[in-house]
Amino acid sequence: MDSLTTPARSWLFVPATRRDRFAKAVASGADRVIVDLEDAVAPEQKAEAREALLRAAIPTGRPVYLRVNAASTPWFERDVAVASSIAVSGIFLPKADTPDDVARAAERLGGDKPIVPIVETAAGVWNALDVARSPRVERLVFGALDFQLDTGMYDENGAYDFVRSRVVVASRVARVGAPIDSVCLAIHDDALLERDAARGRRFGFCGKLCIHPNQVRVANGTFRPTAEEVEWARDIRRERDARPADAVFSHKGALVDRPVIERADQILALASALGLG
Protein backbone atom coordinates (compact mmCIF):
# COMPACT_ATOMS: atom_id res chain seq x y z
CA MET A 1 0.00 0.00 0.00
CA ASP A 2 1.15 3.56 -0.66
CA SER A 3 1.18 6.43 1.83
CA LEU A 4 -2.45 7.34 1.11
CA THR A 5 -3.87 3.85 1.63
CA THR A 6 -1.68 2.75 4.55
CA PRO A 7 -3.53 3.26 7.86
CA ALA A 8 -2.70 6.65 9.38
CA ARG A 9 -4.62 6.72 12.67
CA SER A 10 -1.74 7.39 15.05
CA TRP A 11 1.48 9.36 14.42
CA LEU A 12 3.91 8.99 17.32
CA PHE A 13 6.67 11.52 17.95
CA VAL A 14 10.09 10.40 19.15
CA PRO A 15 12.97 12.85 19.76
CA ALA A 16 15.76 12.67 17.21
CA THR A 17 18.19 12.65 20.14
CA ARG A 18 16.73 9.37 21.46
CA ARG A 19 17.89 6.82 18.94
CA ASP A 20 17.36 4.16 21.59
CA ARG A 21 13.61 4.83 21.34
CA PHE A 22 13.24 4.57 17.56
CA ALA A 23 12.60 0.84 17.51
CA LYS A 24 10.31 1.10 20.54
CA ALA A 25 8.24 3.74 18.79
CA VAL A 26 7.86 1.52 15.73
CA ALA A 27 6.86 -1.39 18.00
CA SER A 28 4.31 0.74 19.91
CA GLY A 29 1.46 -0.03 17.53
CA ALA A 30 1.49 3.44 16.01
CA ASP A 31 0.65 3.51 12.31
CA ARG A 32 3.37 6.10 11.65
CA VAL A 33 6.43 7.35 13.56
CA ILE A 34 7.86 10.90 13.46
CA VAL A 35 11.51 11.40 14.38
CA ASP A 36 11.53 14.99 15.63
CA LEU A 37 14.34 17.44 14.92
CA GLU A 38 12.19 20.47 15.74
CA ASP A 39 10.50 21.03 19.11
CA ALA A 40 12.05 17.95 20.77
CA VAL A 41 15.64 19.09 20.17
CA ALA A 42 17.21 22.16 21.77
CA PRO A 43 18.97 24.60 19.39
CA GLU A 44 22.41 23.72 20.72
CA GLN A 45 21.75 20.01 20.11
CA LYS A 46 20.35 20.19 16.60
CA ALA A 47 23.62 19.84 14.70
CA GLU A 48 24.73 16.84 16.74
CA ALA A 49 21.29 15.19 16.47
CA ARG A 50 21.24 15.74 12.71
CA GLU A 51 24.67 14.21 12.21
CA ALA A 52 23.80 11.25 14.43
CA LEU A 53 20.80 10.47 12.23
CA LEU A 54 23.17 9.84 9.33
CA ARG A 55 24.59 6.90 11.30
CA ALA A 56 21.33 5.76 12.89
CA ALA A 57 19.43 2.63 11.96
CA ILE A 58 15.96 3.73 10.86
CA PRO A 59 13.58 0.90 11.79
CA THR A 60 11.37 -0.73 9.21
CA GLY A 61 7.89 -2.15 9.67
CA ARG A 62 6.17 1.22 9.91
CA PRO A 63 6.52 4.41 7.85
CA VAL A 64 8.98 6.73 9.61
CA TYR A 65 9.03 10.48 8.87
CA LEU A 66 11.50 13.16 9.88
CA ARG A 67 10.14 16.43 11.26
CA VAL A 68 12.59 19.03 10.07
CA ASN A 69 12.80 22.60 11.29
CA ALA A 70 10.73 25.27 9.54
CA ALA A 71 11.85 26.86 6.30
CA SER A 72 12.40 30.16 8.13
CA THR A 73 15.05 28.68 10.46
CA PRO A 74 18.82 28.33 9.94
CA TRP A 75 18.57 24.55 10.37
CA PHE A 76 16.08 23.88 7.58
CA GLU A 77 18.36 23.21 4.62
CA ARG A 78 20.69 20.86 6.50
CA ASP A 79 17.73 19.02 8.04
CA VAL A 80 16.18 18.39 4.65
CA ALA A 81 19.55 17.29 3.26
CA VAL A 82 19.74 14.67 5.99
CA ALA A 83 16.19 13.54 5.26
CA SER A 84 17.14 13.00 1.62
CA SER A 85 20.04 10.78 2.70
CA ILE A 86 18.41 8.46 5.24
CA ALA A 87 15.73 5.79 4.99
CA VAL A 88 12.72 7.83 6.08
CA SER A 89 9.40 7.71 4.24
CA GLY A 90 9.03 11.49 4.04
CA ILE A 91 9.27 14.73 5.99
CA PHE A 92 7.04 16.73 8.30
CA LEU A 93 7.30 20.42 7.45
CA PRO A 94 6.36 22.71 10.36
CA LYS A 95 4.91 26.20 9.90
CA ALA A 96 4.11 25.58 6.26
CA ASP A 97 2.66 29.03 5.68
CA THR A 98 2.88 29.23 1.89
CA PRO A 99 3.37 27.00 -1.16
CA ASP A 100 6.87 28.46 -1.42
CA ASP A 101 7.78 26.77 1.87
CA VAL A 102 6.73 23.42 0.43
CA ALA A 103 8.48 24.10 -2.89
CA ARG A 104 11.75 24.85 -1.09
CA ALA A 105 11.47 21.61 0.84
CA ALA A 106 10.68 19.60 -2.29
CA GLU A 107 13.62 21.11 -4.18
CA ARG A 108 16.10 20.29 -1.44
CA LEU A 109 14.61 16.90 -0.62
CA GLY A 110 14.93 15.57 -4.16
CA GLY A 111 13.73 12.12 -5.10
CA ASP A 112 10.08 11.34 -4.55
CA LYS A 113 9.69 11.34 -0.77
CA PRO A 114 6.39 12.96 0.25
CA ILE A 115 5.99 16.10 2.33
CA VAL A 116 3.48 16.49 5.16
CA PRO A 117 3.00 20.22 5.84
CA ILE A 118 1.90 21.29 9.31
CA VAL A 119 -0.67 24.08 9.17
CA GLU A 120 -0.17 25.86 12.49
CA THR A 121 -0.30 29.61 11.95
CA ALA A 122 -2.91 32.09 10.76
CA ALA A 123 -1.06 32.34 7.44
CA GLY A 124 -0.94 28.57 7.09
CA VAL A 125 -4.67 28.21 7.72
CA TRP A 126 -5.44 31.07 5.31
CA ASN A 127 -3.30 29.41 2.61
CA ALA A 128 -4.29 25.82 3.41
CA LEU A 129 -5.64 25.02 -0.04
CA ASP A 130 -2.59 26.37 -1.87
CA VAL A 131 -0.29 24.52 0.53
CA ALA A 132 -2.23 21.28 0.04
CA ARG A 133 -2.04 21.66 -3.75
CA SER A 134 1.75 21.98 -3.69
CA PRO A 135 3.79 19.20 -5.32
CA ARG A 136 4.68 16.16 -3.22
CA VAL A 137 2.15 16.89 -0.45
CA GLU A 138 0.82 13.68 1.05
CA ARG A 139 -1.64 15.28 3.50
CA LEU A 140 -1.91 18.18 5.94
CA VAL A 141 -1.54 18.26 9.72
CA PHE A 142 -3.25 20.78 12.00
CA GLY A 143 -0.97 22.07 14.76
CA ALA A 144 -3.25 23.59 17.39
CA LEU A 145 -0.60 24.54 19.95
CA ASP A 146 1.40 26.78 17.64
CA PHE A 147 -1.83 28.10 16.13
CA GLN A 148 -2.88 29.23 19.61
CA LEU A 149 0.54 30.83 20.12
CA ASP A 150 0.26 32.66 16.81
CA THR A 151 -3.34 33.85 17.07
CA GLY A 152 -4.17 33.95 20.78
CA MET A 153 -7.24 31.78 20.10
CA TYR A 154 -8.00 28.97 22.56
CA ASP A 155 -9.29 25.57 21.46
CA GLU A 156 -12.41 25.79 23.62
CA ASN A 157 -16.15 25.91 22.96
CA GLY A 158 -15.78 25.34 19.24
CA ALA A 159 -13.29 28.18 18.64
CA TYR A 160 -11.29 26.02 16.20
CA ASP A 161 -14.25 24.51 14.37
CA PHE A 162 -13.70 26.79 11.39
CA VAL A 163 -9.99 25.98 11.30
CA ARG A 164 -10.50 22.22 11.40
CA SER A 165 -13.20 22.44 8.75
CA ARG A 166 -10.96 24.55 6.52
CA VAL A 167 -8.06 22.08 6.77
CA VAL A 168 -10.32 19.11 5.98
CA VAL A 169 -12.10 20.83 3.08
CA ALA A 170 -8.80 22.10 1.62
CA SER A 171 -7.41 18.57 1.76
CA ARG A 172 -10.40 17.20 -0.09
CA VAL A 173 -10.38 19.91 -2.75
CA ALA A 174 -6.64 19.33 -3.30
CA ARG A 175 -7.27 15.55 -3.43
CA VAL A 176 -4.56 14.71 -0.93
CA GLY A 177 -4.93 12.33 2.00
CA ALA A 178 -7.30 13.11 4.85
CA PRO A 179 -5.54 15.34 7.40
CA ILE A 180 -4.17 14.56 10.86
CA ASP A 181 -5.40 16.36 13.97
CA SER A 182 -3.26 18.06 16.59
CA VAL A 183 -1.82 16.55 19.76
CA CYS A 184 -3.67 16.17 23.03
CA LEU A 185 -1.47 16.94 26.03
CA ALA A 186 -3.22 14.43 28.29
CA ILE A 187 -0.95 11.38 28.53
CA HIS A 188 -2.81 9.29 31.12
CA ASP A 189 -6.40 10.55 30.72
CA ASP A 190 -7.86 8.13 28.19
CA ALA A 191 -11.36 9.60 28.42
CA LEU A 192 -10.14 13.11 27.57
CA LEU A 193 -7.97 11.81 24.74
CA GLU A 194 -10.85 9.77 23.33
CA ARG A 195 -13.14 12.82 23.32
CA ASP A 196 -10.44 14.89 21.66
CA ALA A 197 -9.80 12.22 19.00
CA ALA A 198 -13.53 11.64 18.41
CA ARG A 199 -13.98 15.34 17.70
CA GLY A 200 -11.28 15.15 15.06
CA ARG A 201 -12.91 12.14 13.47
CA ARG A 202 -16.27 13.95 13.32
CA PHE A 203 -14.57 16.80 11.45
CA GLY A 204 -13.10 14.41 8.89
CA PHE A 205 -9.56 13.88 10.16
CA CYS A 206 -8.25 10.36 9.73
CA GLY A 207 -5.72 10.28 12.57
CA LYS A 208 -4.03 12.08 15.43
CA LEU A 209 -0.58 13.15 16.50
CA CYS A 210 0.60 11.32 19.62
CA ILE A 211 3.22 12.55 22.07
CA HIS A 212 3.43 9.38 24.16
CA PRO A 213 3.04 5.64 23.45
CA ASN A 214 0.15 5.57 25.95
CA GLN A 215 -1.91 7.59 23.46
CA VAL A 216 -1.50 5.21 20.53
CA ARG A 217 -4.11 2.66 21.61
CA VAL A 218 -6.83 5.29 22.03
CA ALA A 219 -6.02 6.99 18.73
CA ASN A 220 -6.04 3.67 16.89
CA GLY A 221 -9.32 2.67 18.48
CA THR A 222 -11.02 5.98 17.75
CA PHE A 223 -9.96 6.33 14.11
CA ARG A 224 -11.22 2.94 13.02
CA PRO A 225 -14.67 1.78 11.98
CA THR A 226 -16.73 0.49 14.88
CA ALA A 227 -18.19 -3.00 14.77
CA GLU A 228 -21.60 -1.43 14.26
CA GLU A 229 -20.36 0.64 11.32
CA VAL A 230 -18.79 -2.40 9.67
CA GLU A 231 -21.96 -4.44 10.16
CA TRP A 232 -24.05 -1.61 8.67
CA ALA A 233 -21.71 -1.30 5.68
CA ARG A 234 -21.85 -5.05 5.04
CA ASP A 235 -25.64 -4.97 5.15
CA ILE A 236 -25.68 -2.09 2.65
CA ARG A 237 -23.31 -3.93 0.32
CA ARG A 238 -25.37 -7.14 0.47
CA GLU A 239 -28.59 -5.28 -0.33
CA ARG A 240 -26.91 -3.30 -3.10
CA ASP A 241 -25.51 -6.45 -4.69
CA ALA A 242 -28.98 -7.99 -4.74
CA ARG A 243 -30.44 -5.04 -6.68
CA PRO A 244 -29.88 -3.24 -9.99
CA ALA A 245 -26.78 -1.05 -9.99
CA ASP A 246 -28.81 2.19 -9.97
CA ALA A 247 -31.32 1.09 -7.35
CA VAL A 248 -32.35 3.34 -4.48
CA PHE A 249 -33.66 1.37 -1.55
CA SER A 250 -34.56 1.53 2.12
CA HIS A 251 -32.48 -0.04 4.88
CA LYS A 252 -34.04 -0.20 8.33
CA GLY A 253 -36.23 2.76 7.48
CA ALA A 254 -33.45 4.94 6.04
CA LEU A 255 -33.05 5.88 2.38
CA VAL A 256 -29.96 4.42 0.69
CA ASP A 257 -28.70 6.10 -2.47
CA ARG A 258 -25.32 6.48 -4.18
CA PRO A 259 -23.52 8.60 -1.49
CA VAL A 260 -24.66 6.18 1.23
CA ILE A 261 -23.46 3.20 -0.79
CA GLU A 262 -20.10 4.83 -1.42
CA ARG A 263 -19.75 5.63 2.28
CA ALA A 264 -20.36 1.95 3.05
CA ASP A 265 -17.66 1.03 0.55
CA GLN A 266 -15.23 3.46 2.24
CA ILE A 267 -15.89 1.89 5.62
CA LEU A 268 -15.31 -1.61 4.29
CA ALA A 269 -12.13 -0.56 2.48
CA LEU A 270 -10.70 0.92 5.69
CA ALA A 271 -11.80 -2.11 7.70
CA SER A 272 -10.02 -4.36 5.22
CA ALA A 273 -6.83 -2.27 5.37
CA LEU A 274 -6.89 -2.58 9.17
CA GLY A 275 -7.50 -6.33 9.04
CA LEU A 276 -11.02 -6.07 10.39
CA GLY A 277 -12.49 -8.29 7.69
DSSP string of 19-42? GGGHHHHHTTT-SEEEEESSTTS-
Q: What CA–CA distance (Å, rounded) separates 168 from 239? A: 31
The pLDDT of residue 1: 44
Domain of residue 264 covers 227-273
- Predicted local distance difference test score (pLDDT) of residue 42: 97
Considering the domain architecture, whether residues 206 and 234 belong to the same structural domain is answered as no
Same domain for 177 and 62?
A: yes
What CATH number should be reported for the domain holding residue 16?
3.20.20.60
pLDDT score of 134:
98
Residue 1 lies in a domain: no
What was the pLDDT predicted at 79?
98
Tell me: do 213 and 132 sit in the same domain: yes
* Alpha carbon distance 207, 146 (integer Å): 19
Does some domain include residue 5? Answer: no
Do 93 and 161 share a domain, yes or no? yes
Q: Is 233 found in the same domain as 210?
A: no
Q: Please tell me the predicted confidence (pLDDT) of residue 47.
A: 97
Task: Answer whether residue 166 is part of any domain.
Answer: yes
Taking the C-alpha atoms of residue 136 and residue 114, their distance in angstroms, rounded to an integer, is 5
For the chain, how many structural domains are there in total? 2
- Is 152 found in the same domain as 59? yes
pLDDT of residue 68: 98
- On whether residue 169 sits in a domain, the answer given is yes
Judge whether 14 and 21 are in contact, CB under 8 Å.
Answer: yes
Q: Does residue 122 contact residue 95 with C-beta atoms inside 8 Å? A: no
Residues 82 and 152 in one domain: yes
Residue 50 lies in a domain: yes
Q: Determine the Cα angle at 201 with ends 200 and 202, to 5°.
A: 90
For residue range 132-173, list pLDDT tens digits in order.
999 999 999 999 999 999 999 999 999 999 999 999 999 999
Q: What is the mean pLDDT of each run of 10 residues along the chain (277 residues)?
A: 74 97 96 97 97 94 96 97 96 98 96 96 98 97 98 95 98 97 96 97 96 97 86 85 81 86 82 76
Beta strand 10-15 with 207-210 is parallel
Q: Which of 180, 199, 222 is the last residue of a domain?
A: 222
* 44 and 58 share one domain: yes
Same domain, 261 and 159: no
Instruction: For 136-162, give one letter per residue: b (16+ CB within 10 A) or e.
Output: bbbbbbbbbebbbebeeeebeeeebee
**Confidence at residue 267, expressed as pLDDT on a 0 to 100 scale:** 81
